[in-house]
Chain A
Amino acid sequence: MTKELTYLNYLKQDRLPHQWCPGCGNGIILKLSCLAMEKLNFPKKGTVMVSGIGCSGRSAGFFDLDSVHTAHGRALPVAEGIKLANEELNVMVISGDGDLFGIGGNHLLHASRRNTDITVICISNAIYGMTGGQCSPTTEISSKTLTTPRGNVDTPVNVQAIVTAHNCFYARSTTYHFNHAMKCIFEALQHKGFSFVEIKSQCITNDGRRRGFKNSYEMLMSYKENYKINNSTNELEHNEIGIIK
């Protein structure tokens, strides 16, 4: 007998399967969010999903909730407006690294400073996937992308430092560490105040293949090798995943 997949109730099932590329991490994060919401018994009426622009921006439209697909980079101020206008609502943001740290970076600085009670799930794949694979604010140094053919020279943004500087909840995980990532979202949703979950995710189509990965399985395995769980720290090293409250 198969177990009924009750978490699917949080999705508009007539809109599935989603339109992301095979091997994309976005679907994993969609499922993680549903599982965390289900575990917390979030009512569908009373929960609002907000997203920005990019591949990740399409997430909001799949949820069977009232959802808003905002302009590029503006998911945070829209989510803040929703929460502040009706504090009864659970407000979640799913967006990408380019949206949240690039074009919308200033809003991250100030939303965390204001400590607005929203949960942000960042699908951090270190690439602008939808536009073909340009360098993003989280692209590692020397990484090759469409716009950095000789390797990226800029330091990736330190999101942890920005969010924790304002004493907000910060968690980092990867799409490989499924249970850990779910725990991060689960705890973030329970946190009172601004909470930020950065989930390293793979884009094989427009990133991995240029960096020598054959498929997204290999990318996931690289997360397994490169990231270690650290549950007892106030500051995560760049190769550590964990939760900072």
Chain B
Amino acid sequence: MTKRLLQGNQAIALAAVKAGLNFFAGYPITPASEILHELVNQKTIKVLQMEDEIASINTIIGASLAGAKSMTATSGPGFSLMQESIGHAHMMEVPLVIVNVQRVGPSTGMPTFPAQGDILQCKYGSHGDYFPIVFYPNSVAELYEYTFNAFNAAEESLSPVIILSDSYVGHLYETIEEADYPISKRTLAPLGTSNRHFTGLTHEGSIPETSDPEVHKKLMKHFKTKQKKVSRKYKGYEYIENKSSDILLIAYGALSRAAYDLKEDFAIYRPVRIFPIVEKLRDIAKKYKEIVVMEMNAGQYVNEVEGLLHRQVKRISIMGGKIDLNEISTKLRRIKKKK
């Protein structure tokens, strides 16, 4: 095993190549461009710079169906453009990996500053129901490891898997060990070998069926079951117990790195598998009187946590891309007082 100093974005690119990436299509965007920059120098894969993010995701859908392990990388604005095709890829069951290095939004926002505003978009961004697998690592080493996991989960679930990052973790340099992780093989036969029809219409096998509600119900059930089953294979959280505290602080991504500094005073829970939400949190949360979700948005994951726990959860919003421990501590103190 070799040790190497890598940037977060670079780690994703290099791990993807090791995980079997054959095809990458993307469009330049801050703060995700380094992934594209790193991959164009790789000789074993095909890399395309497309006209926009819509073309990028559709090109990798085609490439993946044709047998290539495929990936794209973007940030919020591009991720928004991709939403329709993400739903399409779920409907056609195409294995893909999509990296979203988040920045402050909405719209152009603050392109170089980190944010966590795309959490719910991952799950609800495309129209209709789908059940995505989403990972959000918080260090360079973890980005490296979870890139393998994302490729494997994509192949196993035949669905687009999302790696969330943010401009802080994406641009962070850390020394990591370039370990080898197991790689899942492609099970989907490539195009040109049969007479299948891949369609975004509700379908039964290869036949589009748009008038029988039962077919649609069956399809949705199939999606939900397989996504849950595959996601269980990936350990999705970090839990730092604190017996002297009755507050559980939940944070993820860049912000969770600041939360580590508070582990003397609070128990800390950090989800890595953001969706499907890790059910183990139910058991962990039972031990604490108060649950606080701290995130770099106006309150997104907190709603998912409340939905899982069926109890009221406090929220702390850190907005504008600046992570300031003083601000966090003040807000936490206020919650402690109110209690």
Task: Collect the chain A residues with CB atoms within 8 Å of residue B207's CB.
Answer: 15, 61
Q: Does the CB pair A74–B63 fall under 8 Å? A: no
Task: Collect the chain A residues with CB atoms within 8 Å of residue B52's CB.
Answer: 106
Contact of B92 among A46, A48, A68, A82 (CB under 8 A): A68
Q: Does the CB pair A85–B199 fall under 8 Å? A: no
Interface size class on chain B is 35 or more
Instruction: Contacts A82-B66, A84-B46, A85-B23 given; indicate if A74 touches B85 (C-beta within 8 A).
Output: yes
B260 interface contact, C-beta 8 A: no
CA distance A48 to B192 in the complex (A): 6
A80 (CB) vs chain B CBs: closest residue: B59
Encoded as 1 (CB less than 8 Å from any A CB) or 0, chain B from 75 to 93 comes to: 0000000001100100010
Contact of A79 among B48, B62, B85, B200 (CB under 8 A): B62
B277 interface contact, C-beta 8 A: no
Q: Does the CB pair A67–B196 fall under 8 Å? A: yes
Q: Does the CB pair A85–B54 fall under 8 Å? A: no
Task: Collect the chain A residues with CB atoms within 8 Å of residue B197's CB.
Answer: 60-61, 66-69
Q: Does the CB pair B201–A85 fall under 8 Å? A: no
CA distance A15 to B84 in the complex (A): 28
B22 interface contact, C-beta 8 A: yes
Q: Does the CB pair B190–A86 fall under 8 Å? A: yes
Chain A 123-174 residues near chain B, CB threshold 8 A = none
Q: Does the CB pair B58–A66 fall under 8 Å? A: no
Interface SS, A side: mixed
Task: Collect the chain B residues with CB atoms within 8 Å of residue A71's CB.
Answer: 58, 84-85, 88, 200
Q: Which of A44, A63, A69, A81 has the most CB of B within 10 A?
A: A81
Q: Does the CB pair B50–A86 fall under 8 Å? A: no
Instruction: Contacts A84-B48, A85-B63, A85-B67 given; indicate if A69 touches B201 (C-beta within 8 A).
Output: yes
CA distance A61 to B197 in the complex (A): 6
Q: What are 17 pairs between A and B in contact, CB < 8 Å?
A: A15-B207, A45-B194, A66-B193, A66-B194, A68-B62, A69-B200, A69-B201, A70-B200, A74-B54, A77-B50, A81-B58, A81-B59, A81-B62, A82-B62, A85-B67, A86-B68, A86-B191
Instruction: Mark B residues whose CB is within 8 Å of A.
Output: 22-23, 25, 46, 48, 50-52, 54-56, 58-68, 70, 84-85, 88, 92, 190-201, 206-208
Instruction: Mark A residues whose CB is within 8 Å of B.
Output: 12, 15, 44-48, 50, 58, 60-61, 63-71, 74, 77-86, 88-89, 106-107, 109-110
